[in-house]
Structure 1
Amino acid sequence: MNRLSKVMRQIERLPSGLQPTVRSFILGKIIRFAGTASCRVETLRPETCVIRLKNRRKVQNHIGSVHAAAMALLAESATGFMTGMTVPDDRILVIRSMELTYLKRASGDMTAVASFSEEQLEYVRNTPKGDITVPVVITDETGTETVKAEMIWAWTPKKK
């Protein structure tokens, strides 16, 4: 269990209604861009992450929907937070690649869901240096998948 997963476990002791707010505040301080965009981290566990982003003026494009860059932030945050809970503290995690395909015009608020299988969790935990492809599903408030995204996260041992 790494430092991030220990903090997230402590948050789970709070009343369930408070957990997303506290989780989002803490992660927004660590990753400031996610905090600036007001990403709401609904669920964060080693095997899954769910993040919501309200369609507010500060994240909109010229046609009033969530900006493509904000959707990329949502995908990167969901996959990165989840992977960050899994990588041991003696390693450094970085994003290597982002691939996003915008399928349909988004309507309203957005939700990103990333997940790992048990095999993927074991691979990340037990591989000193490596990378992993993490798919993420992004839907709008109608439940329509608007973005197909895949992130590649890499890690290496920290220098001593």
Structure 2
Amino acid sequence: MKQTNKTLSIYQKLEKYPFGKKIFSIIVSRVAPYFATINPKISELVPNQCTCLIKKKKKVFNHIKTVHVIAICNGLEMAMGVMAEASIPKHLRWIPKGMTVAYTAKAGSDIRCVANVKQEDWQPGDMLVNITAYDENNIVVVKGHIKLWISEKPTV
């Protein structure tokens, strides 16, 4: 299957090289600089799903030395944004409208942030993207959704 999506194509080219996923993650963080605050790494990108890793380091700690939930939300938003850019049909566009999360466990390790949707969800109107953050033991530490507004691109 030939992929024509620019974001997905760049990821697929870079992932073949040593440090390719890290380079891709740096590129994303240059486009949206706030993501760089968590030093993220996109570890998997396929249509309709993206995984972003956050290392447990002092710069993302809270007062009890676990990964701060806002850092996790940043990783979840990065996973969602990259997934959306790599997956949205060419005639549509997206913008986030909100995020709803539940903190379900302490985040005492590296964190894996996952965003996913079904292909048939890409329709004009509100769309909920499932977001889940896991610790290294596969325990869910944050779960929720990001609401996107999907609309048709204007015809020129």
Give the unaligned 5+ runs of structure 1: none
Partners of 2:5 and 2:86 within 8 A in 1: yes
Separation in 2, partners of 1:26, 1:45: 17
Residue 19 of structure 1 corresponds to 20
Residue 32 of structure 2 corresponds to 31
Deviation at 1:4, TM superposition (A): 1.6
What does 1:2-151 align with in structure 2 at a 5 Å threshold?
A: 2-12=5-15, 14-15=16-17, 17-116=18-117, 120-124=118-122, 127=123, 129-151=124-146
Deviations 1:1-25 (A, max 9, x none): 332223223224x33x422212211
TM-score normalized by structure 1? 0.83
Which amino acid in structure 1 is aligned with residue 44 of structure 2?
T
Residue 157 of structure 1 corresponds to 152
Separation in 1, partners of 2:99, 2:12: 29
Deviation at 1:42, TM superposition (A): 0.5
Deviation at 1:90, TM superposition (A): 4.9
Deviations 1:37-74 (A, max 9, x none): 21111011213211110111211111111111111111
Separation in 1, partners of 2:9, 2:120: 18
Separation in 2, partners of 1:2, 1:88: 9
Give the unaligned 5+ runs of structure 2: none
Partners of 2:127 and 2:150 within 8 A in 1: no
Which amino acid in structure 1 is aligned with residue 137 of structure 2?
T
Deviations 1:114-134 (A, max 9, x none): 233xxx21442xx3x323211
Separation in 1, partners of 2:23, 2:146: 26
Separation in 2, partners of 1:89, 1:8: 18
Which amino acid in structure 1 is aligned with residue 68 of structure 2?
H
Q: Identity rate of aligned residues, in percent?
A: 24
Partners of 2:38 and 2:75 within 8 A in 1: no
Deviation at 1:76, TM superposition (A): 1.3
Which amino acid in structure 1 is aligned with residue 116 of structure 2?
S
Runs of 4+ in 1 over 3 A off after TM superposition: 88-92, 157-160
